[in-house]
Amino acid sequence: MSKKDGKYLTTGEFAKLCKVNKQTLFYYDQIGLLTPVMKNKNGYRFYSVHQLELFFVIDLLKDLGMSLGDIQQYMQNKSPEKFLALMYQQKEEIVKKRQEIEAKEKMIEAKIALMEEASNIPFNRITLEQLPEATLYLSRKIENITDEEFVEVISDFIEELSVSYLDSGYPIGSITEREQVLKGEYSNYSYLYIEQPTPKEGHPYFKAVKGDFLIGYHLGDENTIGTTYTRLFTEMERLNLALGDYVFEELVYDSVVQNQSEHYVTKIMMQVEPK
C-alpha cells in the first residue's frame, strides 16, 4: 500500500501523536497489545486514526497501575460489558488515590504549621494556658503492659491510622493518668493518641476537655524527663494549683528533625485545677 490515501499514519506519525517513541509501538505490536491495521510488503506499519483512542485507553490503564499483562487479558476478551466494568473499577481506584493524596496534603499542612509554631516557642519557659477542647483518637490502654504487648498495641494503632485515613499529621502523643504521674511513673503511659481536627464518623474518640494546662518543654530524651516534671510541680505549687486527671506529652523535635537525642523536645501539658 502506498502512504497514503489520507486514512493511515506511519509508525513515526502515530508515535508522535501518542507522545511515545516508536520502540513502544513496536513492543506493543510484538506482544499483541496494539497491532497496526496494515503492514506493506516492505514491513512498514500503518495505523488508523481510530487506533488513537485504543492507545489512550492503554496509556490510561498503565497510569492507573494496571500491568501490561492485565491489559492484554482484557484486550483478548473485549466486550462493552467488560469495558464498562473495567472503567467502574478504575474509577474506584482513582477515588481511593484521591483520598490518599488529600490525606497526605493535610498531613503536610499540619506538620508545616506545627514546625513553624515550634520555631517561635521559648522552650525554657513554663506557662499556664487555657487549651480548647480537642478530639483525640486513642490506642488501646497501654498502662502496665509488657514490652511485647506494647509493640502489638502500637502496631495496631499505626495500622488503623493508615487504613482509616486517621493520620492527621499531628504528632502521636501519650496520655498519662494522674495516679501514675503522682507516683513519678512518667513513662507509664495510659494511652497513645493523635489529634483529629476533622473527626470522621464511625470511630471512637476521646474528648480532651477545655481547661487550664501548665505547659513546659523538656529538652532531651525520656530518661531525663523527670527533671522537667519537677520544675512543673514546683511551678504548680507556686501558683497554688493541683494536678488534674491527665498529663499529655507530644514530641516537638524528634529524630525527624534532630540528629542527637539531647536536642529532642517534648511538650508536656499538665491538666491543672485550683486547690
Express each pLDDT in 124-172 by its tens digit: 999 999 999 999 999 999 999 998 999 999 999 999 998 888 989 899 9
d(CA 22, CA 14): 8
d(CA 210, CA 273): 12
Q: Which of 49, 39, 52 is nearest to 9 (CA)?
A: 49
Q: List pLDDT tens digits, range 158-212.
A: 999 988 889 898 999 999 999 999 999 999 999 999 999 888 888 888 888 789 9
Q: List pLDDT tens digits, range 47-77.
A: 999 999 999 999 999 988 889 999 998 888 8
Starting from the edge strand earliest in sequence, which strands make up the sheet with 38-39, in order? Answer: 8-10, 45-48, 38-39
Q: How confident is the model at residue 99 (pLDDT cuts 50, 70, 90)?
A: confident
Residue 6, pLDDT score: 57
d(CA 170, CA 125): 23
Residue 44, pLDDT score: 87
Q: If you average pLDDT over residues 113-117, what whole number do you get?
A: 91
Tell me the β-bridge partners of 136: 195, 206
Q: Is the pLDDT of residue 1 over 50?
A: no
d(CA 17, CA 11): 10
Whole-prediction pTM value? 0.71
